[in-house]
Structure 1
Amino acid sequence: MGRLTGGDPSLLRRINSAVVLRALRAAASPVPGTAPTLTHLVRVTGLSRPTVEGVVEGLVESGLVAEVPAEEGEARRQGRPARRFRFRTEAGHLLGIEIGAHRVAVLLADLGGQVVGAESAAVTETASADERLACVRRTVESLLERTGVPSASLWAVGVAGPGIVEADGTVRLGTALPGWTGLPLGERLRARFHCPVLVENDANAAAVAEHWKGAATGSQDVVFVLAGLSPGAGSLIGGRLHRGFGGAAGEIGALHLLGREATPEEVLSTTGEPLHPLDEGQVARVFALARSGDERAGAAVERFMRRLVHDVAALVLALDPELVVVGGWAAGLDGLLPPLRAELARYCLRPPRVVQSLLGEAAVATGALRLALDQVEEKLFAVEGRQDLSVGPGAP
Structure 2
Amino acid sequence: MGRLTGGDPSLLRRINSAVVLHALRTATATAPGAAAPDAASLTDLVRVTGLSRPTVEGVVDGLIAGGLVVEAPAEEGEVRRQGRPARRYRFRAEAGHLLGIEIGAHRVAALLADLDGRLMGSAERPVSPDAEAEERLDRVRSAVTELLRRQGVARGSLRAVGVATPGIIAADGSIRLCTALPGWTGLPLGERLKRSFRCPVLVENDANAAAVAEHWKGAAAGSGDVVFVLAGLSPGAGALIAGRLHRGFGGAAGEIGALHLLGREATPEEVLSTTGEPLHPLDEAQVARVFALARDGDRQAREAVGRFIRRLVHDVAALVLALDPEVVVVGGWASGLDGVLGPLRDELSRYCLRPPQVAQSLLGEAAVAIGALRLALDHVEKELFAVESTVTARR
TM-score by length of 1: 0.95
Is the Cα contact below 8 Å between 2:107 and 2:124 reproduced in 1? yes
Shift of 1:258: 0.9
CA–CA distance in structure 1, aligned partners of residues 179 and 384 of structure 2: 37
Out of 194, 197, 200, the residue aligned to residue 190 of structure 1 is: 194
Matched, 1:321 2:328: no
What pairs up with 1:92-171 in 2 under 5 angstroms?
A: 92-171=96-175
Q: Which moved more, 1:19-28 or 1:246-255?
A: 19-28
Shift of 1:3: 7.7
Is the Cα contact below 8 Å between 2:224 and 2:242 reproduced in 1? yes
Out of 68, 72, 81, the residue aligned to residue 68 of structure 1 is: 72
Shift of 1:78: 2.5
Shift of 1:8: 1.4
**Structure 2 residue identity aligned to 1:235:** A
Structure 1, gaps ≥5 residues long: 388-396
CA–CA distance in structure 1, aligned partners of residues 317 and 291 of structure 2: 22
Shift of 1:385: 8.5
The residue aligned with 1:393 is none
The residue aligned with 1:8 is 8
**Structure 2 residue identity aligned to 1:138:** S
- The 1:334–1:117 alpha-carbon spacing in structure 2 relative to 1, beyond 3 Å, is same
What pairs up with 1:1-396 in 2 under 5 angstroms?
A: 4=4, 6-30=6-30, 31=34, 34-383=38-387
- The 1:2–1:149 alpha-carbon spacing in structure 2 relative to 1, beyond 3 Å, is closer
CA–CA distance in structure 2, aligned partners of residues 250 and 176 of structure 1: 16
Structure 2, gaps ≥5 residues long: none
- The 1:33–1:109 alpha-carbon spacing in structure 2 relative to 1, beyond 3 Å, is closer
Q: Which moved more, 1:72-81 or 1:113-122?
A: 72-81
Is the Cα contact below 8 Å between 2:269 and 2:282 reproduced in 1? yes
Shift of 1:383: 4.8
**Structure 2 residue identity aligned to 1:24:** L
- The 1:138–1:54 alpha-carbon spacing in structure 2 relative to 1, beyond 3 Å, is same
CA–CA distance in structure 1, aligned partners of residues 318 and 292 of structure 2: 28
Deviations 1:362-387 (A, max 9, x none): 10000100111111112112557969
CA–CA distance in structure 2, aligned partners of residues 24 and 325 of structure 1: 34
- The 1:2–1:199 alpha-carbon spacing in structure 2 relative to 1, beyond 3 Å, is closer
Is the Cα contact below 8 Å between 1:33 and 1:71 reproduced in 2? no
Shift of 1:202: 0.2
The residue aligned with 1:390 is none
CA–CA distance in structure 1, aligned partners of residues 311 and 284 of structure 2: 17
**Structure 2 residue identity aligned to 1:315:** L
Is the Cα contact below 8 Å between 2:28 and 2:37 reproduced in 1? no
Q: Which moved more, 1:36-45 or 1:71-80?
A: 71-80
Is the Cα contact below 8 Å between 2:227 and 2:238 reproduced in 1? yes
CA–CA distance in structure 2, aligned partners of residues 225 and 336 of structure 1: 12
Deviations 1:254-287 (A, max 9, x none): 0001114210011001111111111111111111
TM-score by length of 2: 0.95
> How many residue pairs get matched?
387
Is the Cα contact below 8 Å between 2:382 and 2:389 reproduced in 1? no
Shift of 1:2: 10
Tell me the secondary structure at the aligned position of residue 262 of structure 2.
helix
Q: Which moved more, 1:73-82 or 1:347-356?
A: 73-82
- The 1:384–1:306 alpha-carbon spacing in structure 2 relative to 1, beyond 3 Å, is closer
- The 1:183–1:3 alpha-carbon spacing in structure 2 relative to 1, beyond 3 Å, is closer
Shift of 1:36: 1.1
CA–CA distance in structure 2, aligned partners of residues 114 and 284 of structure 1: 34
Deviations 1:190-215 (A, max 9, x none): 11112100000000000011111111
- The 1:187–1:33 alpha-carbon spacing in structure 2 relative to 1, beyond 3 Å, is closer
CA–CA distance in structure 2, aligned partners of residues 72 and 45 of structure 1: 29
Tell me the secondary structure at the aligned position of residue 120 of structure 1.
strand
Deviations 1:325-384 (A, max 9, x none): 000011011121111100110110100000001111010000100111111112112557
Is the Cα contact below 8 Å between 1:11 and 1:384 reproduced in 2? no
CA–CA distance in structure 2, aligned partners of residues 119 and 185 of structure 1: 20
CA–CA distance in structure 2, aligned partners of residues 130 and 274 of structure 1: 31
- The 1:106–1:385 alpha-carbon spacing in structure 2 relative to 1, beyond 3 Å, is closer
